[in-house]
Structure formats: C-alpha cells, structure tokens
Amino acid sequence: MVDVKVIYLRRLTSLDALRVVAELWRSVPEPDTLTWEQLRERNIQTLQWLEEKKLLCAAPDGVCNTVANEWRAPLYPLDLTRLEIDAKELRDAQARWVPADFY
C-alpha cells in the first residue's frame, strides 16, 4: 500500500502548490529567526491556502499535523542551482559511493 504521507507531500511539491508556497513565504524572514510556533502557524496557513485552491488531496489529520509541525519551507539554506553533470560521470560516482559509516 502506498504511504499517504508520500502522496500528500508529493502534492505539496507540485508546480502549482510551489507557486502558492513561494507567494506565502517570500515575505517571511529566514526560518532561523522564527520560533517553532511561528513556523508551525505559517505551515498551517500554507496548508489552508493550498486547500482553498484545491491543490491538496485528502489526508488523515495525523498527516496534516506532521506537515504542520515538521515541514521546513522554504528551503533557504539549499543551493538549488542546476548543475550540468555528465551522466556517465554521475553513474560512476554512484557506483563508487560508500556510506561514511560503512567500514
């Protein structure tokens, strides 16, 4: 059975949903300056806006609570710049990769 959280989170990352998220979060200071309560309130507001715009699927309350409590939008600290990478080099690096705690 497919995990409902995965479906729900996937809908949160649709192009239309991300536009709503960007609109809501653009004026908010970086998350490091927010309290957990402020971050949770913004997440709840984001979910409400997405629901009003019919961009969310139905989900149990537990899923909504998890998203409200733990979603860290926007992703300020991440560098989302597109990288031009040779596919063969990437496959080679993946084949050689070993987790740090493997040995």
Where along the chain do its domains lie? Answer: 4-76
Question: Can you give the pLDDT at residue 86?
Answer: 93
CA distances from 81 to 19, 25, 63, 77, 87 (A): 18, 19, 30, 12, 17
Entry pTM: 0.61
Tell me the C-alpha distance between 26 and 37, whole Å: 18
The residue behind tokens 């984001």 is 46
Tell me the C-alpha distance between 43 and 38, whole Å: 9
pLDDT bin (cut points 50, 70, 90) of residue 1 is very low
**3: pLDDT strictly greater than 60:** no
Cβ atoms of 73 and 25 closer than 8 Å: yes
Cβ atoms of 59 and 38 closer than 8 Å: no
pLDDT in tens, 12-28: 778 888 888 888 888 77
pLDDT in tens, 28-53: 777 677 888 888 898 888 889 888 99
**89: pLDDT strictly greater than 90:** yes
What rounded mean pLDDT belongs to the chain?
Answer: 79
